[in-house]
Amino acid sequence: MKRIVILISGRGSNMQAVVQANIAQAEVVAVISNRADAAGLQWAAQRGLATEAICHQDYAGREAFDAALMARIDAYQPDLVLLAGFMRILTPEFCEHYAGRLINIHPSLLPAFPGLHTHQRALDSGCRVAGCTIHFVTAQLDCGPIIAQGVVPVVNGDTADALAQRVLCVEHELLPQVVADFVAGNLVVEGNRVNNLSIVDEDVSVCLKN
């Protein structure tokens, strides 16, 4: 069994998608949030999962918070730490500590639009497609080897909310698949490229939606 700790900051719909996927040989051992009022925490607790809130405001700075967070995460001895809507910039120490077992989902087609307000920025740029990226985390924000990307069209009259909703559907489909591939040992990082051993012939680690 591979042990998974999921970090969230709010709704936690991606966390829910992973939990509900009942991935073989995977166990979600804890859901941790930097906000006590994160709706996802309640959802997880109702399903009998271990939950914790570690509030970043209670700490003097980023280093102190990340150190406390690491201590709590490590208590669960995770094989994988999943950032699923965890809205905090992490210290290089944190990223280094979990190197190779830290995965993030970001709501844009990286390297376009790292950071916040990705959907509005995609609209403002006139993009014809948008999407999400799931990647291994390195110290640089929203960088790191890309594991999978999901693509959706941008349509006339789109709003940031409508686009976010369309992208979110793909996120929910793709994230459990990536976790399953990680757990199965299918993800091999070669430089900046992730080789997914479950994909033969063509590289189809792109999920197209309309």
Which of these ranges, 94-102, 103-111, 187-195, 200-208, lies near ligand GRF under the rule CB under 6 A?
103-111
Phi, psi torsion values for 102, nearest 5 degrees: -125, 115
Query: Angle between the 13-20 and 160-183 helix axes, to the nearest 10 degrees?
Result: 40
> Can you tell me the distance from the alpha carbon of 14 to that of 20, in angstroms, rounded to the nearest whole number?
10
Q: Which residue is nearest to ligand GRF (CB)?
A: 85
Q: Is 144 in the site for ligand GRF (CB under 6 A)?
A: no
Tell me the Ramachandran region of residue 102: left when phi exceeds 0, alpha when psi lies from -120 to 50, beta otherwise.
beta
Residues 70-99 that bind ligand GRF (CB under 6 A): 84-85
Q: Is 138 in the site for ligand GRF (CB under 6 A)?
A: no
* Residues paired with residue 27 on neighbouring β-strands, in sequence order: 3
Q: Which is nearer to ligand GRF, 9 or 186 (CB)?
A: 9
Residue 88, token pair as written in the block: 């905090």
Size of residue set near ligand GRF by CB under 6 A: 14
Q: How far is the CB of 60 from ligand GRF (least distance, A)?
A: 26
Q: Is 121 in the site for ligand GRF (CB under 6 A)?
A: no
Choice among 56, 97, 106, 117 that is catalytic: 106
Say if residue 88 carries a ligand binding annotation.
yes
Say if residue 186 carries a ligand binding annotation.
no
Is 106 labeled as catalytic in the residue annotation? yes
Among 8, 90, 137, 183, binds ligand GRF (CB under 6 A): 8
Burial bucket for residue 19 (CB in 10 Å: 0-12, 13-18, 19+): buried
* Torsion of the alpha carbons at 194, 195, 196 and 198, rounded to the nearest 10: 180
Binding site, residues?
12-14, 62, 87-90, 104
- Residues tagged in the binding site annotation for (6R)-10-formyltetrahydrofolate: 62, 87-90, 104
